[in-house]
Amino acid sequence: MREIVFDTETTGLDPKTGDRMVEIGCVEIVDLMPTGNTYHAYFNPERDMPAGAEAVHGLSAAFLADKPLFRDQAARLLDFVGDAPLVAHNAGFDFGFLNAELALCELQAVCMSRMIDTVAIAKKRHPGAKLSLDALCSRYGIDRSHRVKHGALLDAELLAQVYVELRGGRQIGFELAAELTKPAKNEFVAVRKAPPGPRREPRPHAANEAELARHRKFVAGMDNALWG
């Protein structure tokens, strides 16, 4: 099944008060396996950037000034998303901004029945535990060391790994096969590398004729053997 894991960055918390989406990142997964296909875009919000929001994602009004408007990229985004279910962390927030932007373009809203909220899933699986993306990455051993600030595509890539674990998929770090090929970009595969050093040739394990003869003699001398 094809699903899209996505995240957004915005100018604030509520599109009803004029806040706008400024970044979106989408990661395609099929049968809980990342395909390597992604969609990422920045948008000019046509307004200022509050200092509090900029502190979270680092996107300034100056940086976004020459970026395209959402309406100019909406068709490409919708084409990438298609009719797949949409996975997000605290998904109501991201759906709210996505549909607000679509409304400004007079485009049909994404149906809420397509929403999959990883916070809701995590709450059922880990009641009472911390449910932030950082906390879930720590729980499942997912490396987030490169996450200095929030970024839509980076967060979507991390969330895709978390979502797979929440659904009971791959166990991070427990694959037993040695790494034969380098994973493709955006493919989240945890592998164990073959140990360094010289490779020892396999030793023969079959018994030779002398050993078999000694074994037969030993067995013949056993008293009251169950198989006798």
16 lies in some domain:
yes
Quick one: pLDDT at residue 150? 78
Catalytic positions are 150
Residue 200 inside a domain? The answer is no
**84 within domain boundaries:** yes
DSSP secondary-structure letter at 98?
H
Q: Would strands 2-10 and 115-117 be described as parallel, antiparallel, or unpaired?
A: unpaired
* Residues in CB range of 90: below 8 A, 6 or more apart: 117, 119
Q: Show the beta-strand stretches assigned E in the chain.
A: 2-10, 21-30, 33-42, 86-88, 115-117
Q: Domain for residue 222, yes or no?
A: no
- Write the DSSP string, 156-218: HHHHHHHHHHHTT---TT---SB--SPPPTT-----BPPPSSPPPPPPP-S--HHHHHHHHHH
Q: Give yes or no for a contact between 36 and 27, defined as CB atoms under 8 angstroms apart.
A: no
Q: Say if 151 falls within a structural domain.
A: yes
Q: Is residue 219 part of a domain?
A: no
Domain extent, residue 21, equals: 2-166
Give the pLDDT of residue 190: 40
Look at residue 10 and tell me if it is in a domain.
yes
pTM score, whole prediction: 0.72
128: left (phi over 0), alpha (psi -120 to 50) or beta: left
- The CATH number of residue 135's host domain is 3.30.420.10
Per-residue pLDDT of the chain (228 residues; tens, 9 = 90+): 999 999 999 999 999 999 999 999 999 999 999 999 999 999 999 999 999 999 999 999 999 999 999 999 999 999 999 999 999 999 999 999 999 999 999 999 999 999 999 999 999 999 999 999 999 999 999 988 777 667 899 999 999 999 999 998 755 444 433 333 444 444 443 434 445 555 556 556 677 788 888 888 888 888 877 765
> How many structural domains compose the chain?
1
2-10 and 86-88 beta bridge pairing? parallel
CA dihedral 54, 88, 161, 121 (to 10 degrees): 130
Asked whether the beta carbons of 18 and 147 are under 8 A apart, the reply is no
Tell me, yes or no, whether 209 lies in a domain: no
Q: What is the pLDDT of residue 205?
A: 62
